[in-house]
Amino acid sequence: MPRAIWSGAISFGLVSIPVKLFSAITHKNVSFNQLDSATNSRIRQKRVNAEGEEVPYDRIVKGYEVAKDSYVIVTDDELAALSPKASRMIDISDFVDGSEIDPVFYDSPYYLVPEELARKSYVLLCRAMEESNRVAIATFVMRTKQYLVAIRPVDGALMMSTMVYADEVVAPADIPGLEELAAVTATEAELALADQLIDSLSSDFEPERYQDGYRLQVLDLLEAKANGEVTSVEAVPAAADEGVIDLLAALEASVNAAKEARRNAGSGDPSAEAADDGKAAAAKPRSRAKAKAVAAGDEAPVRASKRVGTGDGAGKTGGAGGKGSGGKGKTAAKKTRAA
């Protein structure tokens, strides 16, 4: 069951609403520890200087590089003096139109849950914001860091999202290759076909249809190895580069393929399900109970002694799944029982 990670109060004007903060998401990555292949013992990291000498903790200080190999030293006391004052208030400064906030500013989402005696005030604020399409902009301090946040009504509750500051957003003009797009033109025929393709693929957003297939395959691989199964892994070949294509022909072919897939789906043709495989809920056949457990993060693929999951400490290397785990390196595991 989720646990509150912060408690305080929403404050605006003379109104104060006691609330607790709960994370609205759980990242389900698979992380690994680095081991010695000869002994399977954990790899330990040591803090050494440029000369290779191990440095004890009491000699380590914080340094900010102002030029090549030139640093300004800052003490913990100096930083502590600049830290925001601890507060238990989420201070609302503005209510803005929700449509004015570009989604690029949103970062991590949380739920705000009222204390029992503050439920009526909480509901009144939530409904008033919902009817006026307003989002509250506020600041609050958690773990010595001050956050800019947006509070918005979602399904009868208040969701608070931390936000990035304006100077942290990369302007499109600073991205190489975007500026040249203004000079690109398209014909009416191309736009019409593009519209048709978009319409043929349009549907309601159902988040349950999309899963991290790579993470699920990694969990299958780990489960097979933990159970002593002999496993072979074959890399999925990369798609061939077709070079320059006929845009009109490609759009027309895509529209026809999408229409055919929709017709087959409506007639119950099993081949349509294969053609629409990208919208399948699971990456490979699994038992219903196991698939639900893995997708919910409730089933550990291996025993705790295997240290698979969220192992802490030195010697941790990159995880599988989550951000940054794209199409590259996709694998499909074939299992055979060891003799």
In the chain, the domains with their CATH numbers are 6-28+83-168 (2.40.290.10), 188-336 (no CATH)
Q: Which range is least confidently modeled, 4-8, 91-95, 241-245? A: 241-245
- Which H or E run contains 222? helix 213-226
Residue carrying the six token digits 């081991």:
35
Closest CA to 123 of 112, 134, 133: 112
**pLDDT at 314 exceeding the cut of 80:** no
Task: Show the tokens assigned to 58.
Answer: 């009491």
> Cα Rg for the chain, rounded, in angstroms?
26
Beta strands in 24-120 (DSSP E): 30-33, 62-67, 70-74, 89-97, 106-114
Count other C-beta atoms under 10 Å from residue 270's C-beta: 7
- Count of CB atoms within 10 A of residue 217's CB? 19
Q: Tens digit of pLDDT for each residue in 91-115?
A: 999 999 999 999 999 999 999 999 9
Residue 151 backbone dihedrals phi, psi, to 5 degrees? -110, 125
* The model's pTM: 0.67
The mean pLDDT of the chain is 79
What pLDDT does residue 318 have?
Answer: 47
Q: Which helix (H) or strand (E) holds 264?
A: helix 247-267
For residue 234, the model assigns a pLDDT of 74
pLDDT for res 138: 96
pLDDT digits (tens, 9 = 90+) for 128-183: 999 999 999 999 999 889 999 999 999 999 999 999 999 999 999 899 999 889 89
- 37-90 pLDDT, tens digit per residue, is 999 999 999 999 999 999 999 999 999 999 998 999 999 999 989 988 888 999
pLDDT at 329 over 80: no
For residue 272, pLDDT beyond 50: no
Predicted confidence (pLDDT) at residue 290 exceeds the cutoff of 50 = no
Q: What is the largest CA-CA distance in the chain?
A: 73
pLDDT digits (tens, 9 = 90+) for 193-218: 889 889 888 889 898 998 998 899 89
Establish how many alpha carbons lie within 13 A of residue 80's alpha carbon, considering only the half-sphere containing its beta carbon: 3
How confident is the model at residue 242, as a pLDDT? 61
Taking the C-alpha atoms of residue 39 and residue 331, their distance in angstroms, rounded to an integer, is 27
Of residues 274 and 16, more confidently modeled: 16
